[in-house]
Structure 1
Amino acid sequence: MAIPRIAVGSTGEFAQPDALKAALAEFISVLIFVFAGEGSGVAFNKLTDDGSTTPAGLVAAALAHGFGLFVAVAIGANISGGHVNPAVTFGAFLGGHITLIRGIMYWIGQLLGAVVACLLLAFSTGMSTPAFSLSSGVGVWNAVVFEIVMTFGLVYTVYATAVDPKKGNIGIIAPIAIGLIVGANILAGGAFDGASMNPAVSFGPAVVSWSWDNHWVYWVGPLIGSAIAAFVYQIIFIDSNTHEQLPSTDF
């Protein structure tokens, strides 16, 4: 079954106040998220003499990213939908929930937010913001699969808790559910490739440190994972109307 609602949109959207406000909201949300997440690694390195790659550093990164994303999604939800991630925006576009033009605006805001966050970190701490990299013994295709699976889980969670029109009251917990899946995935994949799941999160440190080794992995994996999740959820669980909400008197 094809998804008929995919739309390019109009170039007039670049000048629409609501679209500009939404892109700005994405910029601010990503800035807050990346500053907290990347900053946790910088802080842990300072406190432990470059110990962010230890088990304790991994737990700290998972908590900081989970908490930060919970807030970033919540504060942007009523303005832009709280994507905070180019992969989420891509999945929303494939599902017909955002136009290509607005998606491009979101991407610009998200990428700029990540770069500004890393510049502020580098300036305020005097320390580097290291780019994402593969651990020893991890091949690029191993990392791509990791990113596909982890981003699939993230975008599937976004669809189930925030996008699905049948979500009902569960939509209230969407920001915390999204933050929790990212934190859990960092615990699972952080030791192997950093567990990005978010091209903007990878892009900011890469620009500031000007380190691009295997950077494509952090775009290809998340975008493929996002596409799979969007098609699976949109086609099977939304378009096919496989579930009918029970009347409130039945539970």
Structure 2
Amino acid sequence: MPGCIAFGRFDDSFSLASLKAYVAEFISTLIFVFAGVGSAIAYTKVSGGAPLDPSGLIAVAICHGFGLFVAVAVGANISGGHVNPAVTFGLALGGQITILTGIFYWVAQLLGAIVGAVLVQFCTGMATPTHGLSAGVGALEGVVMEVIVTFGLVYTVYATAADPKKGSLGTIAPIAIGFIVGANILVAGPFSGGSMNPARSFGPAVASGDFTNIWIYWAGPLIGGGLAGVVYRYLYMCGDHTAVSGGDY
């Protein structure tokens, strides 16, 4: 049945089109992480190291939203513009990408995030900020926050990009995806950091060597993304829909 979870075939995952998709995911994730991490470093620079204030939070959220909008848009016609292991996981559970190809997407995204974080650290000469819990926020609260905001992100991806009924919504998908990330950072940033993306957290962790609570930024986004994929696919995408083509996802 179209849309069911599929492991995939090695010949498909190593085809020229698939290899191009992996490179596109690497580049898009590098672009996003460089801009996102760079915005946090830039705030530290211009504020003289002061703690993040409301204006700084807004600036960082806007930068992440703009950066993701571009990263998704430039990769959309090649790889689907996932730029996020949680998005890939949610799409795999909804049958929009095979498990095997999704694994290679993860590798490309994580490598892109690491390179992006290392490059921005090299260019600025400043310490790389990592995601972390604010004072008074426990691990459970952090995971739940990341589950909720990532659910919103992946649900938006399905509604605007992956659903065959999307129609004209497909043309604004990168904007909608960027907007929901920016909005979620405004909400979750002061509490869990508002990652929604294991690669966005993992790259800076590697660059800085600080893996404190990194599991939260894997568990929360993957649970949230997986739930969104299952809910949207099996609630709104009926079995008689044509599966999204491999050229899109």
Alignment TM class, shorter chain as reference: over 0.9
Cα deviation for residue 240 of structure 1 reads 6.2
Verify the 8 A CA contact 2:25 2:79 in the aligned structure 1: yes
| Residue ranges of structure 2 left out of the alignment (5+ in a row) | 242-249
CA RMSD of aligned residues (A): 1.5
Cα deviation for residue 13 of structure 1 reads 3.6
Change (3 A) 1:42 1:4: closer
| Residue ranges of structure 1 left out of the alignment (5+ in a row) | 243-251
Cα deviation for residue 53 of structure 1 reads 1.9
Which structure has the larger Rg over C-alpha atoms? Answer: 1
Residues 1:83 and 2:82 are matched in the alignment: yes
Cα deviation for residue 49 of structure 1 reads 1.4
Residues 1:219 and 2:218 are matched in the alignment: yes
TM-score (norm 1): 0.93
Give the Cα–Cα distance (whole angstroms) in 2 for the partners of residues 140 and 72 of structure 1.
30
Mapping of residues 68-107 of structure 1, within 5 Å:
68-107=67-106
Mapping of residues 90-239 of structure 1, within 5 Å:
90-239=89-238
Give the Cα–Cα distance (whole angstroms) in 1 for the partners of residues 207 and 76 of structure 2.
28
Change (3 A) 1:169 1:10: same
Partner of 1:45: 44
Verify the 8 A CA contact 2:3 2:96 in the aligned structure 1: no
Give the Cα–Cα distance (whole angstroms) in 2 for the partners of residues 82 and 30 of structure 1.
9
| 1:193-230 deviation digits (Å, cap 9, x = unpaired) | 11000000000010011111111000000000011111
Partner of 1:17: 16
| 1:28-54 deviation digits (Å, cap 9, x = unpaired) | 000001111110000110000123622
Give the Cα–Cα distance (whole angstroms) in 1 for the partners of residues 106 and 66 of structure 2.
22
Give the Cα–Cα distance (whole angstroms) in 1 for the partners of residues 138 and 26 of structure 2.
32
Give the Cα–Cα distance (whole angstroms) in 2 for the partners of residues 147 and 162 of structure 1.
22
TM-score (norm 2): 0.93
